[in-house]
Amino acid sequence: MNPLPDLTPLRQTIETHFPAYWPAVDLGLATCATLLLADNSNPVAVIYVGAPSSGKTTVASMFEGATIDVNGTPQDLCYRSDNFTTAAFVSHAANVTSSQLSKIDLLPQIKDKVLLTPELAPIFRGKEDDLVSRFSTLTRVLDGQGYQTNSGTHGRRGSAGPHMFAWIGCTTPFDEKVWRVMAQLGSRLFFLLMETPQAVTDDDLLATGQGPSYQERLNSCKQAVHVFLRDLFCAAAGIRQVTWNQGADSLQARRWLVRCARLLATMRSEPVEERDASGGKTHRPGAEE
């Protein structure tokens, strides 16, 4: 493995133009980098959650158009979808022939790529039965072992075998029932809460006319992200070429991983609600994973 590119210039660029967005960009870079790991068996999906104007779409757009070098030829690293539904992974559209369906299935098109979905709010909205259906599909797809379905129109369709990809999405905050559905099915999604910016003052509005425009700042950050990702994938010799050397991990780092794993297991367990003799509600810890 060649020397890794220096992250410092990229961080300086982001913090110069969008100071509050670096943690989200850093997480997006790490999500992309999971494609390099040879022994990673589960696609990593990170969803930015925030109110309008919280910066989630700005961060996601920095990754759009990124390319990597594959045998001397630039190849798209990211696949953007603005109108995403879980049914798109493997289609059974009745008005399309079976031979045409294989060309429009989403799952093969995002294999070894980063799926970008700037607007996922519709996925997290609707009746509970609809949510269960959607997240059942997501749970299976994010197992990384392909996805096959059956219908009366086209019979069995889909893709078998390992299908690795990474996923960066955006959504506005959603209802509590969505968490309950995901808890029942076994969540495969990671979420980053994008803080709502502070109230804008008159002085802030007056200052917007000074310095580079939003688009100029975004383009500068996007170019820096693209350069870093291209150099990173080049240094790692391409997708799924990095074998993690566990023996090189420090004991302290491994202890922190254990703590984080135990915390995550606890957070993903749903407390059991009980009533006492007087009718009051009490809760006891649920079964951990």
What was the pLDDT predicted at 155? 74
What string of H, E and C letters represents the secondary structure of the chain? CCCCCCCHHHHHHHHHHCHHHHHHHHHHHHHHHHHHECCCCCCEEEEEECCCCCCHHHHHHCCCCCEEEECCEEEECEEECCCCCHHHCCCCCCCCCHHHHHHHCHHHHHCCCEEEECCCHHHHCCCHHHHHHHHHHHHHHCCCCEEEEEECCCEEEEEECCCCCEEEEEECCCCHHHHHHHHHHCCCEEEEECCCCCCCCHHHHHHCCCCCCHHHHHHHHHHHHHHHHHHHHHHCCCCCCECCCHHHCCHHHHHHHHHHHHHHHHHCCCCEEEECCCCCEEEECCCCC
Q: In this predicted structure, what is the pLDDT of residue 170? A: 95
210 and 259 co-located in one domain: no
CA distance 238 to 40: 14
Both 122 and 53 in one domain: the answer is yes
Q: What is the pLDDT of residue 240?
A: 92
Residue 2 falls inside a structural domain = no
Expressed in angstroms, the distance from the first to the final Cα of the chain is: 36
How many domains does the chain contain in total? 2
Same structural domain, 197 and 284: no
225, part of any domain: yes
Instruction: Provide the pLDDT for residue 159.
Output: 76
Nearest 10 degrees: CA dihedral of 64, 75, 138, 241?
-120
Q: Report whether pLDDT(83) > 90.
A: no
Do 169 and 224 reside in the same domain of the chain? yes
Query: What's the angle, vertex CA 52, arms to CA 200 and CA 76, rounded to 5?
Result: 120
pLDDT of the residue at 52: 87
Q: Within a domain: residue 18?
A: yes
Q: Does residue 109 carry a pLDDT above 80?
A: yes
Is there a single domain that holds both residue 172 and residue 270?
no
205 pLDDT band, cuts 50/70/90, is low
The 10s digit of each residue's pLDDT in 232-246 is: 999 999 999 999 888
Handedness of CA 78, 79, 81, 85 (dihedral sign): negative
- Report the pLDDT value the prediction gives residue 209, as an integer from 0 to 100: 64
* Same domain membership, residue 109 and residue 233: yes
Average pLDDT over residues 90-110: 76
Res. 160 pLDDT band, cuts 50 70 90: confident
Which range scores top for mean pLDDT: 45-59, 137-151, 174-188? Answer: 45-59
What pLDDT, on the 0 to 100 scale, is given for residue 275?
80
Handedness of CA 78, 81, 84, 87 (dihedral sign): negative
Task: Please name which of 241, 218, 113 lies closest in space to residue 168, comparing C-alpha atoms.
Answer: 113
The fraction of the chain above a pLDDT of 90, given in percent, is: 45
Per-residue model confidence (pLDDT) at position 28:
97
From 193, 256, 257, 240, select the one nearest 43 (Cα to Cα): 240
Q: What is the mean pLDDT of residues 4-10?
A: 95
- Residue 59's pLDDT band (boundaries 50, 70, 90)? very high
* 183, pLDDT greater than 80: no
Residues 6+ apart with CB under 8 A from 89: 105, 106, 107, 137, 141, 147
Confirm whether 1 is domain-assigned: no
Co-location of 167 and 261 in the same domain? no
At residue 186, the pLDDT reads 66
* Same domain? 27 vs 133: yes
CATH number of the domain that residue 83 is part of: 3.40.50
Domain span holding position 141 = 8-244
One domain, residues 237 and 257: no
Structure confidence at residue 258 as a pLDDT band (50, 70, 90): very high
**The pLDDT value given to residue 76:** 95
Residues 253, 289 within the same domain: yes
Query: In one letter, which amino acid is 91?
Result: S
